[in-house]
Chains A and B, each alone.
Chain A
Amino acid sequence: MDIFLQQVINGLVQGSIYALVALGYTMVYGIIELVNFAHGEVVMVGALVSLSVIERLVSRGYTGWPLIVISVLVAIPTCIALGLGIERVAYRPLRRAPRLAPLISAIGVSIALQQIAALIWGRNYLHYPDILPKTQYLIGGAVISQVQVVILLSAAVLMAALWVLVQRTRLGRAMRATAQNPAVAGLMGVDVNRIIATTFVVGSALAAVAGTLIGAYYQVGNHTMGFLLGLKAFTAAVLGGIGSLGGAMAGGLLLGVIENLGAGYMGKLTDGAVGSNYSDVFAFLMLVLVLIFRPSGLLGERGVEKV
């Protein structure tokens, strides 16, 4: 039983990172109906920028969580600038183009960012210095480390803050209005370009935090780390219902838990025929099933409304 609990805890930690990244996908999709395939690369840039900051400062005696906070404070503006730049250069000129055009442009940006990152940080695996305390807590036979607790808490706080921003503020109302109908929102005095840019700002800031957390958790970074992560987070967003904030959060957590339980128990269920390396397959299979039986996702709204 403790092993089961441990798999669930690890899944929730992994899932809360997916959820943070999935929010970036779902917000952009909700507002301009674009799958921003470059979002995973923004996370990667966030992770590598924070790694660079940590490496610079660790030799000057900074360490522990304060250093992580400093690095995330550098990563956030970098990612925001990057997100705004991508929106301005690759998506805004194509807003009235056929839907396929911005999708291709997004894939182009994604590849370009990977190669630029390879030029800056090299193609090899980079190691995050050991700076965080190794404290571990016991819950009912399972172990949870301080890093895992911080990841769960910060993801929860950020998601709550985002919820408040979208549901309770003027800006949030403008975002929801733009999502429902950009043209009418514009007529009502909403600056649609500014709202779309704000969406990218929020998504990129979350990506920066997610990148830093992934780095701190797995202690390894590489210019290709954003690709599979982006794909998983996108899956999480679709699983929960793309366009829906609650859906992205639920989808992320669910995907993380499914993956870990899949890797943990698939071998036993299939009598060794399918090994733990098939956990990704399992996750994507779930996606297919959800799309067949509930095309709008678990928490997505049924019907024609596009949010």
Chain B
Amino acid sequence: MNNFTLRALVTGIALASLAATATAADPIKIGISGPYTGGSSPMGLSMRDGAKLAVAEINKAGGVLGRQLQMVERDDEAKNERGVQITQELINKEHVVATLGYANTGVALASTRFYQEAKIPVIDNIATGSAVTRQFLPPEFADNYVFRNAAFDGIQAQMIVEEAVTRRKFAKVAILADSTNYGELGKADLEKALAAKNVKAVAVEKFNIKDVDMTAQLLKAKEAGAQAILTYAIGPELAQIANGMKKLGWKVPMIGSWTLSMGNFIDNAGAESEGARMPQTFIQEPNTPKRKAFIEAYLHAYNPANGRIPSPVSAAQGYDSVYILAAAIKQAGNTEGPKIRAALENLSEKVDGVVTVYDHPFTHDNHEAITSNIPVIGEVKGGHVQYAYEEERKNPLRLEKH
């Protein structure tokens, strides 16, 4: 052994032992990746801020395993390639224990692969594409490291169709969806849910992100005699649908995925956003003690415009996900990825969250914390998302896991 390799070896051993002694006092790093700028920023920002609240509360109460939680936040700009770049940084440079994130299905699909390979759990708090948690299923993969705390599209499409066709008896509906992964997959889920009720959409129209003129698509829906418009898109484009109807002097109800609750839909559509309905896992309404405390803490910490959380659903899911993760780390007893995954899949502690009380939220084969009995229908009233149905407001927590 020559002198150089020997020296390198000694340095290596010294560094390694240094690293080992340092971990006990080190904070537990949790990555958080979401869009903090651009069209889907209300979701990303609310999730991040909700998660930060939970981290601050946990740290104040002494942290997890005697260590403080530390969030490493990154803006993925809703771009797939940026998401992948951040993922590699979080895994290889920051050595995160777990990551929370993703408002965009495309970014989630592109990024989660790296966590799967690194055996680091990742909880998707917002992106709803049904495929997100199903990329790494057995038997091909022994264990799946991708979890979700959001109502996936299959559930939402069913709720939208139930609301439009069954509850409100619209026989002719049109689908308007954007041409991203989100819109394409959502459109397919909507068509499937409609087919189950023997209904075919009278018009199926698409548009691109950043399109500002939806009148051509709306005219086709109008020509086909649509009585309601079912949407799968994000805030700014949804607002242009509402504004486009105004331009045409035509107004039918909008019923769509949960993104109709985004602040940038309500703000950019103004009065035209009134009456839009969507599935929600959380509505900014203090109808449980936990929700009251959460809403007050959020408004106090961030003081959002008009006293409105930009995306209440994202904020609540982000907040809850930190508590779920903390409970899993506690149960695992250390911060090894496979142990945390196993703990998440068999969580013995009941996590009292904002959205619901999470009682065994995940199993080895089911990585969806939100089941079809949890979301309710929200409606834009007076610039805020409120309960559409009084009985759902009075009966806030529906617990049994399916």
Contacts and interface: CB of A to CB of B under 8 A. Distances in A.
A260 to B, nearest CB: 5
A174 interface: no
Given A125-B264, A219-B268, A224-B210, A276 B217 contact: yes
Contact of A136 (B38, B219, B249): B249
B304 to A, nearest CB: 13
A3 B223 CA distance: 7
B240 A267 contact: no
Contacts of A218: 212-213, 240, 243
Contacts of B37: 123-124
A228 B212 CA distance: 11
B207 interface: yes
6 contacts: A7-B215, A123-B37, A124-B38, A125-B264, A220-B212, A277-B178
Given A123-B38, A125-B39, A277-B179, A272 B268 contact: no
Interface string B195-221: 000000000111110111101110110
Contacts of A220: 212, 236, 239-240, 268
Interface string A225-264: 1001000000000000000000000000000000111011
A143 B208 contact: no
Contacts of B167: none
Contacts of B264: 124-125, 127
A130 B271 contact: yes
A263 B203 CA distance: 13
A246 to B, nearest CB: 25
Contacts of B249: 136, 143, 145
A275 B211 CA distance: 14
Contacts of A260: 213, 215-216
Interface string A259-294: 111011001000010011101100000000000000
B246 A277 contact: no
Interface residues on B, range: 35 or more
B222 interface: yes
A10 B247 CA distance: 10
A168 B162 CA distance: 66
B307 interface: no
B383 to A, nearest CB: 12
B268 A125 contact: yes
A16 interface: no
Contacts of A170: none
B138 to A, nearest CB: 36
B382 interface: no
Given A10-B215, A124-B264, A277-B208, 5 more contacts: A7-B216, A14-B213, A127-B264, A214-B212, A275-B206
B248 A143 contact: yes
Given A218-B243, A219-B243, A264-B219, A6 B212 contact: no
If over half of A's interface residues share one DSSP class (helix, strand or loop), that class is named, otherwise mixed; here it is helix
B12 interface: no
Interface string B228-253: 00000001100110010011110000
Nearest to A219: B243
A194 interface: no
Q: Which 5 A-B pairs have the closest CB atoms?
A: A263-B216, A123-B37, A277-B206, A275-B206, A218-B212
Contacts of B220: 3, 264, 267, 276
A250 to B, nearest CB: 20
A294 to B, nearest CB: 27
A10 B41 contact: no
B222 A3 contact: yes
Interface in B107-147: none
Contact of B205 (A123, A145, A275): A275
B310 to A, nearest CB: 10
A228 B223 contact: no
Contact of B213 (A10, A134, A225): A10
B268 A267 contact: no
A10 B268 contact: no
Contacts of B268: 125, 127, 219-220
A2 B220 CA distance: 12
A267 B212 contact: no
A222 B206 CA distance: 22
B267 interface: yes
Contacts of A143: 247-249
B62 interface: no
B333 interface: no
